Amino acid sequence: MDVHRCKQTKEKEAASDGAGPVPNRQPDLTGMQLMTGTQRKGLRFFLATPAATEALGKLLGSLARNGDVFCLSGDLGAGKTLLSKGAAVSLGAREEDVTSPTFSLMNVYNGISMEIRHFDLYRLNSPEELTDIGFYEYAGGDGVTLIEWADLFTSELPPEYLQITLELAPAGRQAELFPVGPRYEALCEEVLRYVDSGIGHSH
Ligand SMILES: Nc1ncnc2c1ncn2[C@@H]1O[C@H](COP(=O)(O)OP(=O)(O)OP(=O)(O)O)[C@@H](O)[C@H]1O
Ligand SMILES: [Mg+2]
């Protein structure tokens, strides 16, 4: 499956699915390549550049719905914050507002139709600390929840979420999207349809 085969590009357009306008419906996917041999229900991508990491985030943000939870895992510097930034900006957050929550633990951004809560669990040690920062109240509640270092607290995650795993690769990153629950299986199908259609690829 080679997503570079189609040369079609389209103007960005605002679209509405009843939940308000969705910005950046057609993110530029240049540098993002769906990998063949995708296993299980997951989707694997090679991300050649930081822009491609951000674009995958934008694509996920453009498909996100109220209540969605995206869990991000991967080594230090794998690209979790950059992908989160793409998702948040796509939902309407101001680019300059989106920063790493490594020290703040949680950032809240105002999207166009909902809030985005962006956690980083790296510095936390116990579920009690999760309670203190409002994690259980927010994760999966109203808005979209982005959780960096979610793998440090797998037993504390909501029952359904999209697992996004980033890995350092020679000359870029690899990303795997793995759905936990039917909502995220449907989301992965939407991602696959979008990417495989070639929309958003400029070459
Ligand atoms: N596909 C890519 N190719 C090359 N560099 C990338 C790619 N994606 C992200 N990067 C770069 O990796 C660096 C780290 O990104 P980022 O801060 O998002 O990582 P992180 O996983 O959030 O790190 P941390 O574990 O510290 O939270 C940034 O300089 C970013 O531009
Ligand atoms: Mg980070």
pLDDT given at position 165: 98
pLDDT given for residue 32 in this prediction: 86
Domain count, the chain: 1
Mutate to test the pocket of ligand 1, among 33, 44, 47, 81 (most ligand atoms within 8 A of CB): 81
Q: Beta partners for 174? A: 46, 167
Ligand 1 centroid, distance to 19 Cα (angstroms): 31
What is d(CA 99, CA 45) in angstroms, rounded to the nearest whole number? 24
- Distance from residue 75's CA to the centre of ligand 2 (Å): 9
Q: What is the pLDDT of residue 36?
A: 65
Report the distance separating Cα 139 and Cα 127, nearest Å.
13
User: 56: domain CATH number?
Assistant: 3.40.50.300
Regions in the chain scoring below 50 on pLDDT: 1-23
Residues having CB closer than 6 A to ligand 1 are 47, 49-50, 52-53, 74, 76-82, 100, 102, 148, 172-173
DSSP string, 94-161: -GGG----TTTSEEEEE-SSSEEEEEE-TT--SHHHHHHTTHHHHTTSSSEEEEETGGGGGGGS-SSE
CA distances from 44 to 35, 134, 160, 165 (A): 5, 32, 20, 9
Quote the pTM value: 0.86
> Considering every ligand atom, which ligand is closest to the CA of 75?
1
Asked if residue 17 belongs to a domain, the reply is: no
Order of all β-strands in the sheet with 115-120: 32-34, 43-47, 172-180, 161-169, 69-73, 144-148, 115-120, 106-110
Does any domain span residue 18?
no
User: Of ligand 1's atoms, which has the minimum distance to the CA of residue 47?
Assistant: 1
For residue 80, tell me if it sits in a domain.
Answer: yes
At CA 137, angle to CA 136 and CA 142, rounded to 5?
125
**Rg, Å, the chain Cα set:** 16
The predicted-structure confidence for 105-144, as pLDDT tens digits, reads as follows: 999 999 999 999 999 999 999 999 999 999 999 998 999 9
Residue type, 129: E
User: Can you give the residue range of the structural domain that contains 192?
Assistant: 29-202
DSSP assignment letter at 83: H
Q: How far apart are CA 154 and CA 70, in angstroms?
A: 13
- Please name the helix (run of DSSP H) or strand (run of DSSP E) that holds residue 88, with its range, or none: helix 80-90
What number does the ligand 1 atom closest to the CA of 48 have?
A: 1
Ligand nearest to the CA of 164: 1
Read off the DSSP letter of residue 4: G
Asked if residue 6 is part of any domain, the answer here is no
7 CA → ligand 2 middle, Å: 33
Q: Is beta strand 172-180 parallel, antiparallel or unpaired with respect to 43-47?
A: antiparallel
Yes or no: say if 34 and 177 are a contact pair by the CB < 8 Å rule.
no
Indicate the top mutation candidate among 53, 54, 123 to test ligand 1's pocket, ranked by most ligand atoms within 8 A of CB: 53
Inside any domain, residue 15: no
Q: Which residues of 146-175 are buried (b: 16+ CB within 10 A; e: fewer)?
A: bbbbbeebeebbbebbbbbbbbeeeebbbb
Domain assignment present for residue 58? The answer is: yes
